[in-house]
């Protein structure tokens, strides 16, 4: 069913995700063994590159996510950095203070998420001219099914990639890296081999051996540090090792089905689909906000909790999902970096703010008061669903009040048309003051 203008939910508002999934799951794969060809496009240092163009900062080291206090002290965390900054040793997740120590003249800019969303939408329009099947993996990464190029020569595919990159540069003034391969996994690996502004084609076994065999397995989807350590213990470090040793060690380490899937992924045998992200529904909905400074004012912390409930419930209504079990995390600021996580339940399955607030706030604020009394300062809060069901599930002992449901629907209609923060709770305006990594975050 197509939603009208007043029904269209902004599912990406205040959601700063990197990607929808970390690996290729079985349900994301084609059942047939038909050969396909994929293109992965990665906008190089997207945030920093956009700001370099916007403010004519070409050639200068930029760290996205940091800022300076009035006394000049750097604060925040590096979300990403330009290649000029990376060459100096500045890395993602490094503190702004560390970045400043490496490069005292580094330029700190905050992430203007709405700007990048607009550019990403325009990028998608450009890509529509190059493939009928496109998957938005993140703001700055896209997958294209280019199976119509199967049977073409390497030179013809090279020409196609050059035209694609030229179209993006002519329209947006931005450069990207591209990988083309016979699996999504390999296309993504190939796009990272020649950054910035390069491209790699993996069309034949010889290409795989030349470009991908030397890569360590922890660079592949789903093979994190722990799994890599297990594989390393069996003498399997690289993609070449996986081809040489075979599937058996994978099955022994990770089980019959999961082990086979991991082996297929690292050897380019997976049959991943181009996913319909527009209709994607996550397994859970969550919200996390790390404050730029330590908080001890109770009204401000309560305001952040109210905001978290509103963000989570709004997205759940957009996904047409409800939940009964929820998890809240209160993050402390001290030398141990500890926090307090607790689970709570509502009277029934719901996606209406009132029922979640009524259960969350008394318990959360009690824990906040105890923490502050014990000398802790609060650095952030988080809220997530523990389980979700489709919206049409009926219950015997709980029913949402029709009046509350109508008020929520009316507020959503206004916010969907005029902006998600048009109608808001007064308590949410009492949030913790200060900057975040993102520009204009309310």
Contact 134, 274 (CB under 8 A): yes
Contact 316, 310 (CB under 8 A): no
Q: Where are the beta strands (DSSP E) in 3-52?
A: 38-43
Domain with CATH 3.30.1490.100 in the chain: 281-430
Contact 205, 213 (CB under 8 A): no
CATH number of the domain located at residue range(s) 281-430 in this protein: 3.30.1490.100
Band the pLDDT of 441: cuts 50, 70, 90.
very low
Query: Does residue 438 carry a pLDDT above 70?
Result: no
Q: What is the mean pLDDT of residues 226-233?
A: 93
Contact 253, 234 (CB under 8 A): yes
Q: What is the pLDDT of residue 345?
A: 96
Domain with CATH 1.10.150.20 in the chain: 213-275
Q: What is the mean pLDDT of residues 407-413?
A: 91
Q: Does residue 141 have an active-site annotation?
A: yes
φ, ψ of residue 370 in degrees (nearest 5): -65, -40
Band the pLDDT of 393: cuts 50, 70, 90.
low
Q: What is the mean pLDDT of residues 312-323?
A: 93
Q: What whole-number distance in Å separates Cα of residue 294 and Cα of residue 379?
A: 5
Q: Which helix (H) or strand (E) holds 350?
A: strand 339-350
The residue annotated as part of the active site, out of 135, 141, 264, 302, is 141
Query: Does residue 417 carry a pLDDT above 50?
Result: yes
Segment 167-200, tens digit of pLDDT: 999 999 999 999 999 999 999 999 999 999 999 9
The CATH superfamily holding the domain 42-203 is Reverse transcriptase/Diguanylate cyclase domain (3.30.70.270)
Segment 110-129, tens digit of pLDDT: 888 889 989 999 999 999 99
In CATH, 213-275 is 1.10.150.20 = yes
Contact 326, 377 (CB under 8 A): no
Query: Does residue 92 carry a pLDDT above 80?
Result: yes
Q: What whole-number distance in Å separates Cα of residue 130 and Cα of residue 147?
A: 12
Q: What is the mean pLDDT of residues 358-374?
A: 95
Domain with CATH 3.30.70.270 in the chain: 42-203
Q: What is the mean pLDDT of residues 293-298?
A: 87
Q: What whole-number distance in Å separates Cα of residue 272 and Cα of residue 265?
A: 9
Query: Does residue 298 carry a pLDDT above 80?
Result: yes
């Amino acid at each position: 069913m197509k939603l009208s203008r007043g029904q269209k939910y902004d599912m990406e508002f205040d959601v700063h995700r990197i990607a929808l999934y970390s690996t290729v799951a079985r349900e994301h794969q084609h059942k047939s063994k038909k050969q396909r060809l994929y293109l992965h496009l990665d906008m190089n240092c997207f945030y920093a590159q956009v700001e370099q163009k916007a403010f004519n900062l070409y050639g200068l080291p930029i760290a996205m996510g940091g800022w300076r206090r009035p006394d000049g002290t750097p604060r925040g965390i590096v979300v990403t950095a330009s290649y000029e900054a990376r060459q100096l040793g500045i890395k993602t997740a490094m503190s702004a203070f560390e970045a400043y120590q490496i490069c005292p003249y580094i330029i700190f800019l905050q992430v203007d998420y709405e700007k990048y969303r607009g550019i990403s939408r325009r990028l998608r329009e450009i890509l529509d001219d190059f493939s009928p099947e496109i998957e938005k993996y993140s703001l700055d990464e896209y997958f294209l099914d280019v199976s119509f190029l199967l049977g073409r020569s390497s030179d013809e595919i090279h020409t196609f990639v050059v035209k694609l990159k030229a179209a993006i540069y002519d329209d947006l003034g931005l450069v990207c890296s591209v990988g083309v391969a016979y699996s999504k996994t390999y296309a993504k690996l190939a796009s990272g081999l020649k950054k910035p502004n390069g491209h790699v084609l993996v069309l034949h076994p010889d290409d795989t051996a030349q470009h991908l065999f030397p890569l360590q397995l922890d660079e592949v989807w789903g093979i994190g540090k722990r799994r890599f350590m297990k594989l390393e213990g069996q003498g399997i470090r690289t993609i070449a090792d996986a081809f040489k040793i075979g599937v058996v060690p994978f099955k022994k380490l990770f089980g019959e089905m999961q082990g086979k899937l991991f082996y297929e992924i690292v050897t380019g045998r997976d049959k991943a689909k181009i996913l319909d992200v527009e209709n994607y529904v996550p397994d859970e909905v969550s919200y996390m906000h790390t404050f730029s400074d330590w908080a001890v004012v109770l009204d401000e912390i309560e305001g952040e909790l109210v905001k978290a409930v509103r963000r989570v419930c709004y997205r759940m209504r957009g996904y047409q999902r409800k939940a009964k079990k929820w998890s809240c995390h209160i993050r402390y600021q001290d030398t141990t970096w500890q926090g307090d996580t607790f689970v709570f339940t509502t009277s029934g399955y719901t996606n209406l703010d009132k029922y979640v607030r009524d259960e969350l706030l008394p318990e959360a604020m009690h824990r906040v008061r105890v923490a502050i009394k014990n000398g802790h300062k609060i650095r952030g809060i988080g809220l997530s669903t523990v389980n979700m069901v489709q919206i049409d599930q009926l219950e015997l002992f709980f029913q949402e009040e029709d009046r509350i449901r109508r008020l929520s629907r009316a507020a959503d209609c206004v916010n969907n048309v005029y902006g998600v923060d048009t109608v808001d709770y007064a308590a949410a305006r009492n949030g913790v003051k200060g900057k975040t990594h993102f520009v204009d975050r309310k």
